[in-house]
Amino acid sequence: MMNIVKVEWIRIRRNPLNGAILLIFAVLLGLSAIWSGFRASEIRAAAAAPQIAQAPANAAEMHDAPKPDDHDGGDDSAYAASNKLPPLQLPLSGGLALNVSQADLVGTSIKVSSRSRHTDGRNSDQIFNPLSYEFGLLDFASVFALLTPLVVIALSYGLVQEERESGVWRLVCTQTARPWQLVFSSLGLRLLLVALIAGLSSALAFLLDSGSDWQALAYWAAISLSYVVFWFALTGLFLLLPISSGAAAIGLLGSWLVLTFGVPAALHWAADQSQPKPSRMAAIIEIRRLQEASNQQRQTALADWFKAHPDLLGDTPLAKLPREVAGLPAAMQLDHQIRPLMMQFETHRAERFEFMQRWCWASPALALALAADRLSGLDAPRHAGFVAAVDAFEDRWREHFLPQIMARAGWSEAQQAALPRFDFRQTMDYAELNRLAGWQALSAASILALLIALRQRFARF
């Protein structure tokens, strides 16, 4: 057996095409790992210093907001203090380097203030091209999922068919009782080379990410290795077919298209049929209706609030109250009415993610992408939990600030110390990660077991 392995290693080394394919794969995967690792560190640095990173954004958001008057305590007023809270951050997991673009897409920080974040139409973010999210640099997990099958196909397709076409395979079968050992040795060596490049690139991405951890790397190593094994086993099954090498290549490319693009697209369609997406246009129309109703009821809401808190009104007539005070009760009512409309989109994304995860066994590439979402901490269920936690914290936070703002009172350090602290400690869902890793391993093991069971068919010439 060792002699067969040595011979196959010599064959691989002497074919310059194999070296070129592996070199291109290593360069592309390495560049993606470097970009993803550095980008992940940048995102973590911005999250660790939100006061610095968000200062221009906060200034832009508040540039036309009502300014605290001198009789309200100026910069020491409760209203001014309510605008100084740094954005709440979604804790990022150790596998962020696998899926950095998702952080920009879904957002990892939410600004909490006495103003509704749902009806503020100003955008203080950097100007960007929306197409860059679709056609820009791919994440490391996406590059790995797309390129690995192509590399496996390029290295391994037609290994037996070409020998049959040249008449060599008949000679091989007459000189060895187990020709499948030759095929398995050839596929095994190629698998080791691809796995080595993938492992080193993954380690590089995690090494450059300042917040990575070994648990995420271990999960990724197991899931990505199963992905590589699946495609080599599938290539081995195509080597059994009595077809030409060109037909085998076309069949493998067709399998890549179906499993990587066709099945996920079909699952997306099925998810839309079973769980229709809420209409954003209907939500916008309803928000505009609620805003109009809130504007008409502003004075009523203000009077009702002070009727419930008469000790905070003082001697100032309602008509003379500052704008930030007069509109606050109605704004709080409006925010509670709008929240369910906005939360339904987060809930739908979470349900859609879970639907896709239940069927990810049908597409190894989809399972790999979902695992990257989980490992980065940016999966839809976790993000929905983060938004719900922010809403709950915002209610508690406003309970401290609202009476002080309505009373036009100052704000002390003792009051600042008594504010509630946001604590979102939801870690990676290891049960779901184990399920994803299990499905990926089961897919690879099933195809590999089928190949082993049919190995004697390689003796047919």
Tens digits of residue pLDDT in 195-252: 999 999 999 999 999 989 999 999 999 999 999 999 999 999 999 988 888 999 999 9
Residue 293 pLDDT > 80: yes
pLDDT in tens, 422-435: 888 777 788 899 99
> CA-to-CA distance for 54 and 17, rounded, in angstroms?
50
Residue 107 pLDDT greater than 50, yes or no:
yes
Percentage of the chain modeled with pLDDT above 90:
47
Alpha-carbon dihedral of residues 95, 96, 101, 103, nearest 10 degrees? 130
Does the pLDDT at position 385 exceed 60?
yes
Tell me the average pLDDT across 146-160.
Answer: 92
77 contacts 409 by C-beta, under 8 angstroms:
yes
Give the residue from 353, 347, 343, 345 showing the smallest Cα distance to 280.
345
Average confidence (pLDDT) over 448-457: 92
Closest CA to 137 of 44, 210, 33: 33
CA dist 378 and 381 (Å) reads: 8
- H helices of 212-316, in order, are 214-240, 245-257, 263-274, 280-296, 298-308
H helices present in 107-179, as ranges: 131-135, 140-156, 159-166, 168-175
pLDDT at 195: 96
Contact 83, 58 (CB under 8 A): yes
pLDDT tops 90 at residue 303: no
Q: What is the average per-residue pLDDT within 117-134?
A: 60
DSSP string for 313-358: TTT--GGGS-HHHHTHHHHHHHHHHHHHHHHHHHHHHHHHHHHHHH
The band of 144, judged by pLDDT with boundaries at 50, 70 and 90, is very high
φ and ψ at 88, to 5 degrees? -80, 135
User: How far apart, in Å, are the Cα atoms of 447 and each of 82, 222, 227, 409?
Assistant: 59, 17, 11, 70
Position 149 pLDDT exceeds 70: yes
Q: For position 62, what pLDDT does the model report?
A: 46
Amino acid 130: pLDDT: 56
Whether the per-residue pLDDT at 146 is higher than 60: the answer is yes
Three-state secondary-structure class, residue 161: helix
Q: How many CA atoms lie within 13 A of 145 on its CB side?
A: 25
Alpha carbon distances (Å) from 56 to 51, 104, 333, 410: 9, 18, 29, 25
Residue 71's pLDDT band, with cuts at 50, 70 and 90, is very low
Q: 303-342: string of b/e by CB count within 10 Å (b at 16+)?
A: eebbeeeeebeeeeeeeebbebbbbbbbbbbbbebbbebb
Residue 51 has pLDDT above 70, yes or no: no
Q: Identify whether the C-beta of residue 99 lies closer than 8 Å to the C-beta of residue 141.
A: yes
pLDDT reported for residue 188: 92
Which residues have CB under 8 Å from 44's CB, separation 6+? 92, 96, 209, 210, 211
Phi, then psi, of 113 in degrees rounded to 5: -155, -175
- For residues 260 and 405, the model is more confident at 260
